[in-house]
Structure 1
């Protein structure tokens, strides 16, 4: 699993990755509670692949061609591109930074991960 347990200090990461992570955290601050819940579901899908359907998976099945994506959808696409390019330590660092910003949110994330135990 790519995420570390609470309280562990992450290793240093690259400047570019740090800027990407700060960007996502900035977006996070401006998101509504509904958008944060969607992000949590997406983050959960990245932490335990195959156990939940991510938001982008759901959106891609809609296949609405006459409507441009909204800003939140664009942010999630960038987030996914960046996340996929990060190594384990960088992913852990992001979760650590998110925890500093919103400890309750990350606690809910860990609880949700634990809730997937035993699912196929």
Structure 2
């Protein structure tokens, strides 16, 4: 018997709406960086993300708003279950289908990599 997916929590929906609101205001370069981060979360170990590379630099400057948004995004994403992550991708796809299509092509491009 198939089980119903876990309902998405109100808090997760609010977090997702927050990230989508930030996404709308990000520049093309920031969206590309977000894409790389999302890709690293989707296929861990197959992609060296820009965030991983930057974290090894030990930059002491104060983080900008975008850096803080990405940190919150990471905390929230790690707390979401699979259904909530899928829901976020669906909501993101409604906002920017080309971005999500690019994400899926990038994920497909990692197939077979170790």
What TM-score does the superposition give when structure 2 sets the normalisation length?
0.92
Structural RMSD (CA): 1.3
Deviations 1:88-120 (A, max 9, x none): 000000000000000111000000000001111
Contact kept, 8 Å, 1:44 with 1:112, in 2: the verdict is yes
* Contact 1:48-1:113 at 8 Å conserved across structures: yes
Q: Which residue in the other structure is 1:99 paired with?
A: 93
Which ranges in structure 2 are unaligned for 5 or more consecutive residues?
none
Displaced runs of 4 or more, over 3 A: none
1:81 correspondence with 2:75: yes
| Aligned-residue offset at 1:11 | 6.4
Alignment of 1:1-120 (within 5 A): 12-65=7-60, 67-120=61-114
Q: Please, which runs of 5 or more residues in structure 1 have no aligned partner?
A: 1-9
Matched pairs, number: 110
| Per-residue deviation, 1:59 | 2.0
- TM-score of the aligned structures, taking structure 1 as reference length: 0.87
